[in-house]
Amino acid sequence: MDQFFILLGLLVCLAGLAKCVRFCKCVLLSFRKVLPRSFLQSMGQWAVVTGAGDGIGKAYSLELAKCGLNVVLISRTLEKLQVLAREIERSTRSRVRVIQADFTKDDIYESIQEELKGLEVGILVNNVGMLPNLLPSRFLSVPDEIQSLIQCNVTSVVKMTQLILKPMESRRRGLILNISSGVALCPWPLYTLYSASKAFVCTFSKALQAEYRAKGIIIQVLTPYAVSTPMTKYLNTNMVTKRADEFVRESLNYVTMGDETCGCLAHEVLASFLSLIPAWAFYSRAFQRFLLTCYTDYLRQNVSTRE
């Protein structure tokens, strides 16, 4: 019995040490750009970004173009894609292709595959997503967009990965970044459907990485918390709420860190803090009241309606 407890203590110490090492690595990566441009370029000539018209998708498109990759922009609003394409072509030497597609529909993937034919796609950023309501709401109170949300948040990740992964497997290299959310790390009451859809992205990504790591392919899921984008109604930025461009620049340093990351140091710290809250407290009526009152007031005071 003594040996059992000694072994258990050693395992706990090792787990704590691993967390400390991970945190120190996050600190280092947040202050230093250690991933060379050549690493991203070695994945392939083209990067494909879904939901590229705004927010995080737009920021990834710009940053990957600055790193020397050609970019395929996919989103619903053609005008935004055209404006972004001109910006990228004007500020970099990268080539840009634009594909208009509505990811709430299920009949778009054959045409996307046709548009991508012949391109050496080395990076896929599955970013497109829907948030039914920024303010916390009970399930029956959110807009009735269940099928659209599932198509956008779940089906798009599976179908786009299916299109891009096979050529990556044959070349034995590639990078897939799946943008999930911090609310996927555990079931979040009052964000039920969004949390569940993003949890699928986490599970799918980590299982897929286990399958294809030996093929030389990196599949990483990112679980950020607040990022100021149109989807979050341009929340005021602070130490935790990041601008899309600064989040993306930092997240690219974490590419080789593992199959799951929050993408920036501030969100890693927040995730560690939230993980200390016991489940009984997290799912209590008191916590839900806090979300419906204090947190709702905070959001209302910090959002912007700018386009």
Active-site residue list: 194
CB half-sphere exposure, 198, CA atoms < 13 A: 27
| E strand residue ranges, 79-173 | 96-100, 121-126
CA 294 to chain centre: 27
Partnered with residue 22 across adjacent β-strands are none
Distances (CA, A) of 216 to 42, 171, 221: 12, 9, 17
Scan for tokens 């990504």, then name that residue: 205
Retrieve residue 221's tokens.
């899921």
CB 131 within 8 A of CB 231: yes
Give the three-class secondary structure for 104. coil
